[in-house]
Amino acid sequence: MKIQDLRPAIGARKRRKIIGRGPGSGHGKTSTRGHKGQMSRTGKGTTPGFEGGQMPLIRKMPKRGFNTVPQKGKAIINLDRLAGLKKESSITLDLLKKKGIIKKRVNFLKVIGNGDVKIPFNISAHAFSKTAIEKIKNVGGKCEVLK
The residue type of 71 is Q
Among 95, 120, 108, smallest CA distance to 145 is for: 108
The domain spanning residue 103 has which CATH number? Answer: 3.100.10.10
Classify residue 110: in a domain, yes or no: yes
The pLDDT score that the predictor gives to residue 10 is: 82
Distance CA 19, CA 68 (A): 48
Classify residue 93: in a domain, yes or no: yes
Classify residue 49: in a domain, yes or no: no
Cβ 59 vs Cβ 47: under 8 Å:
no
The residue type of 87 is K
The pLDDT score that the predictor gives to residue 59 is: 93
The residue type of 92 is T
The pLDDT score that the predictor gives to residue 9 is: 87
Classify residue 69: in a domain, yes or no: no
Distance CA 40, CA 79 (A): 60
Classify residue 117: in a domain, yes or no: yes
The pLDDT score that the predictor gives to residue 23 is: 92
Classify residue 101: in a domain, yes or no: yes
Segments forming the whole domain that contains residue 123: 74-145
Classify residue 35: in a domain, yes or no: no
Classify residue 9: in a domain, yes or no: no
Torsion of CA 15, 16, 17, 22, to 10 degrees: -80
- Taking only the tens of pLDDT, the chain with its 147 residues reads 899 999 888 888 777 889 999 999 889 999 999 999 888 988 878 889 999 899 999 999 998 998 888 788 999 999 988 877 877 778 999 999 998 888 888 999 999 999 888 888 899 999 999 999 999 999 999 999 998
**Widest pairwise Cα distance in the chain:** 87
Q: How many domains does the chain have?
A: 1
Distance CA 121, CA 55 (A): 57
| pTM summary value | 0.53
